[in-house]
């Protein structure tokens, strides 16, 4: 009799434990990694969507540090830093004294550095519109910069622009106290869906040799940036001031990293 009661109690306890175990939440299991070339979507491994061609290239980070004339030698000298990934040649045009002078310059050692002969009229004028066209290569995007070449420096100094959590693009810097006009800040990134380069420009009025940028981006632009591929880059440039024969200058900074 006692033995029967013990057996019955043992069976009842086992049944209770089984019920409790059945009611306890199952421990979450770490999902296995997806095979190469696939990503997990809603718990299932799926093939990665194709990457648009534009997403495979990086920005050129082109800057214009100097574009000056030598009247006696009748030459134009250009120094333009660029990403170390860039290669090939840049196409350059000087439009001055109603003459267009076209030439090419090699891209090497993270810069475009060249001195080219120009006409007597262009050298005597000492200023003109310079266009530097870098066509890109296998891993670097194309970029075109247009600003004034001249001997008087603009003394452009730029702090790295920032994009706040509230969607404001903020930046500041200084330029020669004799400069007039605006400083332009360009945001550049690649559309993650199309692979197209998106460039948006903002202007800041120069006042007593200083400029300040504080602008809120539109919701559409913020959404495109959030869905980008690669980095967000800024280009800040002063295009020049003809009355003072002041040249244009340009600097480049990364604003946001890769996704």
Domain boundaries 53-149, CATH class: mainly beta
The torsion angles phi and psi of 191, rounded to 5 degrees, stand at: -65, 120
Separation in Å, CA 141 to CA 1, 91, 117, 197, 240: 90, 15, 29, 9, 25
Predicted pLDDT of residue 152: 97
Distance, CA of 152 to CA of 148 (rounded, Å): 11
Pick from 108, 103, 157: which is nearest to 131 by CA? 103
Is the pLDDT at 6 greater than 50? The verdict is no
Predicted pLDDT of residue 201: 97
- One fold for both 53-149 and 152-259? yes
What does the mean pLDDT of the chain come to? 89
Q: Where are the domains of the chain?
A: 53-149, 152-259
Distance, CA of 188 to CA of 198 (rounded, Å): 6
Higher pLDDT, 18 or 237: 237
**Residue 79 CB neighbour total at 10 angstroms:** 15
- Record the pTM: 0.79
Model confidence pLDDT, tens digit, residues 7-57: 454 556 555 545 555 555 545 566 678 887 777 777 788 776 677 878 989
Is the pLDDT at 121 greater than 90? The verdict is yes
- Residue-wise DSSP of 124-153: HH-EEEEEEEE---SSB--EEEEEEEESB-
Given CATH 2.60.40.10, say whether it is the number of domain 152-259.
yes
The torsion angles phi and psi of 136, rounded to 5 degrees, stand at: 85, 175
**Residue 225 CB neighbour total at 10 angstroms:** 21
Residue 56 is given by DSSP the state G
């Amino acid at each position: 009799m006692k033995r029967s009661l013990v057996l019955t109690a043992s069976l009842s306890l086992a049944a209770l434990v089984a019920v409790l175990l059945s009611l306890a939440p199952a421990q979450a299991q770490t999902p296995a990694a997806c095979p190469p070339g696939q990503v997990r979507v809603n718990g299932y491994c799926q093939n990665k969507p194709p990457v648009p061609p534009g997403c495979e290239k990086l920005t050129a980070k082109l800057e214009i540090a100097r574009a000056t004339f030598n009247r006696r030698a009748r030459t134009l000298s250009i120094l333009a830093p660029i990403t170390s990934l860039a290669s090939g040649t840049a196409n350059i045009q000087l439009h001055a004294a109603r003459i267009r002078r076209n030439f090419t310059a090699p891209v090497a050692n993270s810069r475009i550095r060249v001195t080219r002969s120009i006409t007597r009229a262009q050298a005597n004028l000492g200023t003109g519109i310079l266009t530097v066209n870098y066509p890109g290569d296998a891993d670097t995007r194309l970029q075109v910069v247009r600003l004034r070449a001249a001997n008087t420096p603009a003394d452009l100094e730029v702090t790295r622009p920032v994009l706040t959590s509230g969607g404001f693009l903020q930046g500041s810097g200084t330029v020669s106290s004799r400069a007039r006009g605006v400083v332009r800040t360009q945001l550049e990134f690649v559309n993650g869906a199309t692979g197209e380069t998106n460039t948006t420009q903002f202007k800041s009025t120069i006042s007593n040799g200083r400029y300040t940028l504080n602008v809120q981006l539109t919701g559409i632009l913020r959404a495109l940036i959030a869905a980008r591929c690669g980095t967000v880059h800024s280009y800040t440039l002063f295009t020049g001031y003809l009355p003072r024969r002041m040249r244009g200058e340009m600097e480049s900074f990364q604003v946001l990293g890769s996704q």
